[in-house]
């Protein structure tokens, strides 16, 4: 894979591209729905920024509050759940500043863009060689070249000879995550014109993304319990909120 291009972290470049594309998709949706104005555009950009900062803050907390070098922090250590919380905080801070659009309506508008952005992020994971899957022999399994993160991980676990030309074949977990994110983006876009209340699209995404990530994390080569548990918590909280709102509206 290609973790660096011209001494620049590929993951960092793809992450920046993901933020730009995700924001552009959200702005396009806002325009199509006739709710776009300068405040909404700046609001979407602010939410995107808070999402990245939240993802990074979550990663730092997971490491016990220890920061690495600037280049290391820029190219790794982001966590999805922190990104969701950061985005939520950004939305709340925009209350009353969106020209008549409610924060929950804004959350719905930006949701498809989140799915698209996460799909781009997973391309960065694939190029970086991180978030790799377990060893498998499926037809779509992939290998990583010598000296890649996956290759070195297999060496450390004693399941690969140092003379090997590539890692063992593994689940393309990055692709699983990416395709799932794209499917959630499509679902969110479809639900936008069918939602029954503001915030429903975001809550459905939150639920499906959390529960899906909980399942997909089982395919990671080295499972990270805290990440998997956090995904389950996010998914369950989203589901409980949806059920509660539905029950209240049925009274």
pLDDT in tens, the chain (251 residues): 655 554 557 888 888 898 899 989 999 999 998 888 888 888 888 888 888 888 877 777 776 666 666 555 555 667 777 777 788 788 778 776 676 778 888 889 989 999 999 999 899 889 888 889 999 999 999 999 998 889 999 999 999 999 999 999 999 999 999 999 999 999 999 999 999 999 999 999 999 999 999 999 999 998 888 889 989 999 999 999 999 998 887 66
Residues 150, 109 share a domain: no
125 with 194, same domain? yes
* Amino acid 6: pLDDT: 45
Count the domains in the chain. 2
Please count the other Cβ atoms lying within 10 Å of the Cβ belonging to residue 41.
Answer: 15
Final residue before a domain boundary, out of 170, 191, 217: 170
Residue 164: give the domain boundaries.
135-170
Three-state DSSP state, 128 = helix
Q: How much is the pTM?
A: 0.86
pLDDT on residue 73: 59
Q: Which of 170, 196, 224 is the last residue of a domain?
A: 170
- CA distance between the termini of the chain: 55
Q: What is the DSSP letter of 218?
A: G
Residues 236 and 160 in one domain: no
């Amino acid at each position: 894979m290609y973790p660096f291009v011209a001494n620049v972290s590929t993951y960092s470049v793809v992450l920046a591209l993901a933020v730009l594309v995700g924001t552009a998709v959200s702005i396009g949706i806002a325009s199509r729905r006739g709710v776009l104005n300068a405040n909404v555009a700046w609001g979407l950009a602010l939410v995107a920024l808070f999402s990245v900062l939240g993802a990074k803050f979550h990663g730092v907390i997971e490491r016990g509050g220890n920061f690495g070098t600037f280049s290391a922090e820029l190219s790794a250590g982001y966590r999805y759940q922190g990104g969701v919380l950061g985005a939520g905080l950004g939305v709340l801070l925009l209350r009353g500043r969106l020209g008549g659009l409610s924060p929950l309506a804004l959350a719905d508008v930006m949701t498809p863009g989140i799915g698209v952005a996460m799909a781009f992020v997973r391309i960065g994971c694939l190029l970086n060689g991180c978030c790799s899957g377990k060893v498998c022999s499926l037809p779509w399994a992939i290998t990583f070249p010598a000296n890649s993160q996956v290759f070195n991980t297999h060496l450390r676990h004693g399941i690969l000879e140092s003379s090997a030309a590539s890692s063992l074949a593994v689940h393309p977990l990055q692709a699983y995550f990416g395709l799932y994110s794209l499917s959630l983006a499509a679902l969110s876009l479809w639900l936008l014109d069918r939602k029954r209340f503001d915030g429903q699209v975001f809550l459905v995404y939150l639920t499906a993304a959390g529960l899906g990530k909980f399942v997909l994390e089982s395919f990671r080569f080295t499972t990270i319990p805290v990440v998997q548990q956090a995904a389950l918590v996010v998914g369950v909280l989203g589901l409980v909120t949806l059920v509660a709102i539905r029950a209240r509206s049925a009274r």
